[in-house]
Amino acid sequence: MINRKWLTLVLCAGLVASAAGCGSSGNTNKGGAAEQTAGAQTESGSKPELKTLNLWSKDDYNTYTLAKVVEEQTGYKVKYEMLPADKAMDKLNLLISSAEPYDVITIAGEKAVYTDYAKMGALVDLTPLIDKYGGNIKASISPESFEAMKVDGKIYAIPNRASEFAGSSLLIRTDWLDKLGLKMPATLDELTAVLKAFKQKDPGGNGDKGAPLSIDGAMATMVNVTGAFGIATGWSEVDGKLVAAPLQPGFKEYLSYMSDLYKQGLLDKEFAVNKDATLKEKFTSGRAGVIPLPWYDIPGIADALTKNFPDAKYAYVPALKGKDGQAGLGMSGGFDRLTFIPKSSKHPEDAIKWINAKLDKDTFKLIAIGEEGKHFTYKDGVYSPILPLFTDERGLASNYLTGIDEKLYPVYWQARVQKDPRLFAGFTFLNREIPAEDRISDPLAMAPSLPEYSKNNASLNQMINDFAVKVIVGEESTGAVAAFIGKYNAAGGEASSKEVNEWYASVKK
């Protein structure tokens, strides 16, 4: 999260050089970017070289195959730089505050970060530029997405809308089920029975070294199981209003259930200190029979599991039904990347022209999935990758997307999921075999940046997780939930709820 007071000061210092004017959200560019654009063209009128800053990638943007493709299709030569893998936002804050002359910057879908930059006068107002040069941009990106990007009525970023899908569930060792003659659990009670059988009959042969179920200590509100208590997403609609998870009755019931699993030895005693890598290692080494896992992590898990146990089998647990028939897997949504033009840009108009050129329908398809017959095949409405060339030359295509065709990209995108049949099987189960009514959309996915919510969300989520861990391990009782809610509200929960519901009421009219 940005330290707003510090960043305001350094932005004032850094942006004075480009005459941006601290606190101004308009695209004045007096003596700065607009004038520099006019003088940046060569005498022959050729296009200037653009300088971009992108998310970290394992490969060099400048030498990857797509860099040349983008240059040939748009006519712009681009020098790509990337943020570091660690502490990326700290680095970005420094670059923004020192007015480094990047023409285009792409970050993860951090609406709060983007909004802060916009309000502090660090970004170019794209509204007039899109109107003048952005025909493809307006044809590709929905009004709903642009509405979520608005800050004080102006658009400062081009969004990459995320495909909405269920991303995770509980992965279970089905060879253990078969060994014990058990069926796949479909309800919470059946899951409990399976975990008891795993502990008592020890199909993995671990003795006291293993546990039927393990989770990541940083994610104590476990996917799928929370859905059985009616809290599949962080906020849910209750009687026409959005209510945060800890304020719902199902939160206390969930903690009671997980605490009971822990007391019975059905939940890993070490879960509180588990990291993601630890959790996966416990599953692949046979020390855990059930873990929560995103579908995109399946290939790595499958390889490690097969190496250790060649006959091992696994599958996703379906959406478990609770006592009242409730079930749900939360779905992703919102935006996975945001692209903006800093006030320090030397070529803001060319930056928009470049982004717009990439959103020409044929050019976008070429960048996203390549050439038919070379990178993909198309049959019966389905795009399938031709391997290994698709992976080699389009595996990092998302790094080059500054805005997407929102109607076509979700269809193109599924070719990426078919790079590995195990990956595709997991994705397909969660998003085609799980009933649609059990895949729960995030009601805040398309919300604009909400200042109170954005300011408080990370710390409140940490509060929820810390409290959940304490209750599960027995340091706190479920009777402490009421007192926790009071602390939660005082720490920003009440202010966030007020703001969230004011927005929600406005869009429901």
Based on the fold, state whether residues 23 and 40 are members of the same structural domain. yes
Based on the fold, state whether residues 323 and 345 are members of the same structural domain. no
pLDDT for position 348: 98
Q: Is residue 425 within 8 Å of 431, Cβ to Cβ?
A: no
Based on the fold, state whether residues 33 and 109 are members of the same structural domain. yes
Query: Within a domain: residue 411?
Result: no
Based on the fold, state whether residues 177 and 270 are members of the same structural domain. yes
SS3 443: coil
Query: Within a domain: residue 375?
Result: no
Query: Within a domain: residue 402?
Result: no
Based on the fold, state whether residues 45 and 59 are members of the same structural domain. yes
Instruction: Report d(CA 445, CA 242) in Å as an integer.
Output: 13
- Give the range of the structural domain holding residue 468, as residue numbers without chain letter: 168-330+441-508
Instruction: Report d(CA 430, CA 330) in Å as an integer.
Output: 11
Query: Within a domain: residue 283?
Result: yes
Based on the fold, state whether residues 29 and 137 are members of the same structural domain. yes
Based on the fold, state whether residues 76 and 141 are members of the same structural domain. yes
Query: Within a domain: residue 377?
Result: no
Instruction: Report d(CA 148, CA 111) in Å as an integer.
Output: 9
Query: Within a domain: residue 117?
Result: yes
Based on the fold, state whether residues 208 and 314 are members of the same structural domain. yes
- Structural domain count, the chain: 2
Point out the domain boundary residue: 344, 369, 394.
369
In order along its 509 residues, the chain shows pLDDT tens digits of: 444 444 444 444 444 344 333 333 333 333 333 333 333 344 346 899 999 999 999 999 999 999 999 999 999 999 999 999 999 999 999 999 999 999 999 999 888 889 999 999 999 999 999 999 999 999 999 999 999 999 999 999 999 999 889 999 999 999 999 999 999 999 999 999 999 999 999 999 887 788 999 999 999 999 999 999 999 999 999 999 999 999 999 999 999 999 999 999 999 999 999 999 999 999 999 999 999 999 999 999 999 999 999 999 999 999 999 988 999 999 988 999 999 999 999 999 999 999 999 999 999 999 999 999 999 999 998 899 999 999 999 999 999 999 999 999 999 998 989 989 999 999 999 999 999 999 999 999 999 889 899 889 989 999 999 999 999 999 999 999 999 999 999 999 999 999 999 999 998 86
Query: Within a domain: residue 176?
Result: yes
Based on the fold, state whether residues 56 and 158 are members of the same structural domain. yes
Which CATH number does the domain housing residue 186 bear? 3.40.190.10
Q: Which among 244, 253, 262 is positioned nearest to 195, based on CA atoms?
A: 262
SS3 11: helix
Based on the fold, state whether residues 130 and 217 are members of the same structural domain. no
| 294 backbone dihedrals φ, ψ, rounded to 5° | -70, 150
Q: What is the largest CA-CA distance in the chain?
A: 80
Based on the fold, state whether residues 214 and 178 are members of the same structural domain. yes
- Structure tokens that stand for 310 in this block: 């060649």
Query: Within a domain: residue 313?
Result: yes
Based on the fold, state whether residues 72 and 159 are members of the same structural domain. yes
